Structure 1
Amino acid sequence: MIVTIDGPAGSGKSSAARQLARRLGFQFLDTGAMYRAVALAGQREDVDWDAPDQLAQIAQKSQIELSQDRILLDGQDVTQEIRTVEITQLTKYAADNTQVRKILVEAQRKFAEGQDVVAEGRDQATVVFPQAQCKIFLTADEKVRAQRRFLDLVSRGERVTLDSVLDNQRIRDQQDEERRIGGLRKADDSIEIHTNGMTPAQVVERLEALVRERMH
């Protein structure tokens, strides 16, 4: 069974999807982390960000592994490194690159072969797994999302302000919506859930109930 969870930045989808997968005994596919890992690989190789072919070559040769709650890049744990503000801003170059996207979508589909998976991202229901048995779109008001992101970054030791996080989020939202391939779209058959005022535990419980309904 494939469950997709899409939504904008700060909607809480990553933590909710991870917890949901754990509760269901499914594999967790963090597709955003894969794009972040490509951006990190590009930064490490001092890639020319205006040369899409270079980044695509790096994506092709990079070994990206998802293991439990960790992400490995060429065998090295980069789970924390890919979550910095700098890598967040560079990730658009990977996400906007049609060649990189093709490489990663193929890898995502291969990951899910023969497995029960909770796949989280922007285009999981619309592009990667349109045949998914359960499609969910998580969202929340932009200020709620920015506050969540701000608290997450502060907990990681980043020096940021709430205003700067909100500004960056608005830019990301616009980029996500305008992206020609793999942009943020709600699939017609997705169930939309607004997480304003919901605790993380309540979100996971709601998701689990939806999925279990479709398992019978």
Structure 2
Amino acid sequence: MNKIIIAIDGFSSTGKSTVAKQLANYLGYIYVDTGAMYRAVTLYAMQKGLINKDDFNKEALIYQLPNINISFKFNEEKGFAEVYLNDKNVEKAIRTLEVSGFVSQVATLLEVRQKLVEQQHKMGKDKGIVMDGRDIGTVVFPEAELKLFMTASAEIRAKRRYEELIKRGDKISYEDVLKNVKERDFMDSNRKDSPLVKSKDAIEIDNSKLTLEEQFNKILQLAKMAIEDYE
């Protein structure tokens, strides 16, 4: 059976990573969370004191990009690949609201995007991959056989993110999460390089009223049809 590239783009907290993992596991494909890659670079910048609420030393981060190594290692117990920054597991550290608050700024840097897109191209050269992010279907893999664009209202996405953070033990308010979601939407959609836009040939999935099971079944059928059409 021939394998395809499945590109899943969309706004933050639309469940892109969740459904991408499910789809990759079902199809036996490789899953790549590109958002996690940008979060890892952001965490590095924070750890080195290059970004905070008052300042962002872009030049220093660009200069230090060669020192940043991002990899994915499969965790059999959890059933998915975790993110490593310079050989250290940062899967939990990159998922904080603090990192979320800075990641869109880091992602606007052309040099950062070029470095990560180059890595993403290498990951998908043999196809059989499910990749999610902001510009997968428009920039990274414009030739992808299946492109999806995930969306939902900001309020619903903030509620999902808030519940996820509270369940994890984070102390945060819903209002702060909603503010972060709206700020990221604006920055992602208005950045100069590779802004978040729906590819003309992408299928839009509004999951505001879909359960996880309904969403997965809908997308799985689309994937099966795309694979059949490719063969």
Separation in 2 of the partners of 1:198 and 1:99?
Answer: 37
- Over the aligned positions, Cα root-mean-square deviation in angstroms equals 1.2
Separation in 2 of the partners of 1:41 and 1:31?
Answer: 16
Any idea what SS the aligned residue of 1:114 has? coil
Choose which of 173, 179, 198 in structure 1 pairs with 2:185: 173
Query: What amino acid maps onto 1:33 in structure 2?
Result: A
Query: What amino acid maps onto 1:16 in structure 2?
Result: V
Correspondence for 1:12: 15
Separation in 2 of the partners of 1:156 and 1:81?
Answer: 12
State the Cα distance separating 1:83 from its structure 2 match. Answer: 0.4
Question: Mean alpha-carbon deviation: is it higher for 177-186 or for 61-70?
Answer: 61-70
**Pair 1:65-2:68 in alignment:** no
Structure 1 residues not aligned, in runs of 5+: none
Correspondence for 1:198: 210
Correspondence for 1:33: 36
Query: What amino acid maps onto 1:162 in structure 2?
Result: Y
Query: What amino acid maps onto 1:3 in structure 2?
Result: I
State the Cα distance separating 1:202 from its structure 2 match. Answer: 1.5
Query: What amino acid maps onto 2:8 in structure 1?
Result: I
Could you state the TM-score of these two structures normalised by the residue count of structure 2?
A: 0.90
Any idea what SS the aligned residue of 1:47 has? coil
Separation in 2 of the partners of 1:117 and 1:99?
Answer: 24
User: Which aligned pairs between 1:129-140 and structure 2 lie closer than 5 A?
Assistant: 129-140=141-152
**8 Å Cα contact 1:2-1:116 kept in structure 2:** yes
Query: What amino acid maps onto 1:12 in structure 2?
Result: G
**Pair 1:23-2:26 in alignment:** yes
Q: Please give the per-residue CA displacement for 1:23-57, whole angstroms capped at 9, x wherever unaligned.
A: 11110010000000001111122225533222123
Any idea what SS the aligned residue of 2:147 has? strand
Separation in 2 of the partners of 1:102 and 1:157?
Answer: 35
Correspondence for 1:74: 86
Correspondence for 2:119: 107
Q: Please give the per-residue CA displacement for 1:123-147, whole angstroms capped at 9, x wherever unaligned.
A: 0001110000000001111111111
Could you state the TM-score of these two structures normalised by the residue count of structure 1?
A: 0.96
Any idea what SS the aligned residue of 1:28 has? strand
Any idea what SS the aligned residue of 1:118 has? strand
**Pair 1:44-2:24 in alignment:** no
**8 Å Cα contact 2:50-2:58 kept in structure 1:** no
Separation in 2 of the partners of 1:59 and 1:199?
Answer: 40
Identity of aligned residues (%): 35
**Pair 1:95-2:70 in alignment:** no
Separation in 1 of the partners of 2:99 and 2:176?
Answer: 15
**8 Å Cα contact 1:41-1:58 kept in structure 2:** no
**Pair 1:119-2:126 in alignment:** no
Choose which of 136, 152, 155 in structure 1 pairs with 2:167: 155
Task: Count the aligned residue pairs.
Answer: 216
State the Cα distance separating 1:181 from its structure 2 match. Answer: 1.1
Separation in 1 of the partners of 2:60 and 2:114?
Answer: 15
Separation in 1 of the partners of 2:222 and 2:69?
Answer: 34
**8 Å Cα contact 1:55-1:94 kept in structure 2:** no
